[in-house]
Each structure stands twice: as structure tokens, then as C-alpha cells.
């Protein structure tokens, strides 16, 4: 089974500052990687995904993530956050040939004015 | 395009009572997932359907949980009897095929008293 580790349960940051949310996974096989965002009382919404190709992936709302195979990481970044980015962010992984998703425990991003 | 619809959004029941959740996936999506999300955790798969077939129910507590997806469209998840530890958010997601990301509904928040 895969495992996904999001080291930071909470990340406070001031508005317009840059932010990085960390995600590491364990897998001996090739995987697809995803970041989802969850606003209060809502379901998860896909931010971005890595399937293959360029290791730098751009998503919605100005977010991007970089796949690092050697470090088995897929960190999420945004150069300048807004108050509206306050939400919980989940990293997820699934194997190429097995349609089962494994989610991290989430990181709550709290953007302060 | 309508998203994944779930009902009810909130449910409060006493322990030992039965409860059912309903999910209507996005039209044309063959794959349907039910997830359990405990407070402060990421979603954990309960069951996955490919059309009307349950292809992965290894994490479904079959002594009290059951699910069905008649005609390969809507799905119902049932708990009978409910226990205090079942209090959580139950998320439904769908996807058009095995190689695509999932689209989540808003979830049903269950409180067992």
C-alpha cells in the first residue's frame, strides 16, 4: 500500500507571502500525484495533477507543484497567497495500474491579513 | 454540467439507529467511490464501483455497512446499526474512467449521539 505524508498539519502565513505545502509519498512503483483543496463544508476540488512529462505542474488559482522522483516528493507552492486561499489541502497518490487513491492527512493553510 | 450530488448534507442520529446516504454521480461517469473522512484526516476509501460492480470493498466494514449501485448510476451507502465512532463526513466521488481524477460531492456530515 502507498502512504502519503504531509508533514505540516497547519501552516499560518501572511497575505501576499509565498507558501510551500510539503508532501512526501512512499512507493516502489510509478505513481500519479494530485493536490486537492477543501473549503469548509465542501468536497475536495482538484488543484493540479502530475501524470507524466514535465515535473513542474501548474494548476488553478496560481498554484504549482514539482514532482521530485528521487526524493519522492510533490510539494505545492504559491508565490503570493490571498485570504481566499485559506482552506485545507490534501496530497494524494495512486499507482499507474491500480485505481486506488491514498490521501495525506491534510494541511490547513491559514492566510492572515 | 452538474457536479456530484449528495444527500442529505447533514444527519444526526442516535446510536444503534440505521442511516442511509445517497449519491448521484456526474452523468456518464462509470466509476463511483465512497470515502470516509474523519476529522483532521484525509479521505479513506470505503468502496469503489465500476458501473454496478463493487470492485474494491476491502475497507468497508461489512458487519454494519452496505452499499449498492443499481443500474450503475446512483448509489446508496447504509449503516446499520450506527455507532458513535461512525461520526464523520462521508464523501462520494466519481470519475469517467480509471485513468482520470475524481470529482467529489460536498459530503454528508454524520453525527451519532
| pLDDT more than 70, % of chain A | 99
The answer to whether the CB atoms of B104 and A43 lie below 8 A apart is yes
Partner B, chain A 16-35, Cβ-Cβ below 8 Å: 34
Contact A54, A67 (CB under 8 A): no
The list of chain B residues with pLDDT below 70 reads: 1, 98-100
Maximal C-alpha separation, chain B: 40
Residue of A nearest to B90 (CA): A43
How big, in percent rounded to 5, are the helix, strand and coil portions of chain A? 5, 55, 40
The tens digit of pLDDT for each residue in A78-107 reads 999 999 999 999 999 988 777 788 999 999
Distance from CA of A106 to the nearest CA of B (A): 6
Question: Could you tell me the three cell numbers for B1?
Answer: 454540467
Interface of B with A in 43-72 (CB under 8 A): 43-45, 48, 56
Q: Does A49 touch chain B (CB under 8 A)?
A: yes
Look at B43 and A103 and tell me if their CB atoms are within 8 Å: yes
> Among residues B102, B103, B42, which one has the least CA distance to residue A23?
B42
pLDDT digits (tens, 9 = 90+) for B92-102: 999 987 666 88
Separation in Å, CA of B90 to nearest CA in chain A: 10
Count of Cβ atoms closer than 10 Å to residue A62 Cβ: 13
Q: What is the mean pLDDT of residues A50-79?
A: 94
Cα distance from B37 to chain A (closest Cα, Å)?
10
Instruction: Give the CA diameter of chain A.
Output: 44
Measured in whole angstroms, the distance separating CA B90 from the mean position of its chain's CA atoms is: 5
Cell 442529505 identifies what position? B8
Amino acid at each position: 500500500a502507498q502512504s502519503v505524508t504531509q508533514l505540516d498539519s497547519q501552516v499560518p502565513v501572511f497575505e501576499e507571502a509565498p507558501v510551500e505545502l510539503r508532501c512526501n509519498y512512499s512507493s516502489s512503483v510509478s505513481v500519479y500525484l494530485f493536490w486537492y483543496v477543501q473549503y469548509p463544508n465542501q468536497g475536495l476540488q482538484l488543484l493540479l495533477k502530475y501524470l507524466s512529462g514535465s515535473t513542474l505542474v501548474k494548476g488553478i488559482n496560481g498554484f504549482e507543484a514539482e514532482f521530485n522522483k528521487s526524493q519522492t516528493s510533490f510539494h505545492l507552492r504559491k508565490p503570493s497567497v490571498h485570504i481566499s486561499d485559506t482552506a485545507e489541502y490534501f496530497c494524494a497518490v495512486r499507482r499507474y495500474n491500480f485505481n486506488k487513491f491514498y490521501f495525506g492527512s491534510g494541511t490547513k493553510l491559514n492566510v492572515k491579513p | 454540467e452538474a457536479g456530484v450530488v449528495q444527500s442529505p448534507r447533514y444527519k444526526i442520529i442516535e446510536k444503534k439507529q440505521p442511516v442511509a446516504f445517497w449519491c448521484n454521480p456526474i452523468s456518464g461517469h462509470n466509476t463511483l467511490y465512497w470515502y470516509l473522512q474523519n476529522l483532521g484526516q484525509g479521505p479513506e476509501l470505503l468502496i469503489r464501483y465500476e458501473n454496478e460492480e463493487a470492485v474494491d470493498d476491502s475497507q468497508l466494514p461489512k458487519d454494519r455497512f452496505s452499499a449498492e449501485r443499481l443500474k450503475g448510476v446512483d448509489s446508496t451507502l447504509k449503516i446499520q446499526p450506527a455507532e458513535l465512532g461512525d461520526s464523520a463526513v462521508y464523501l462520494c466521488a466519481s470519475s469517467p474512467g480509471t485513468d482520470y481524477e475524481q470529482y467529489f460531492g460536498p459530503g454528508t456530515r454524520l453525527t451519532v449521539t
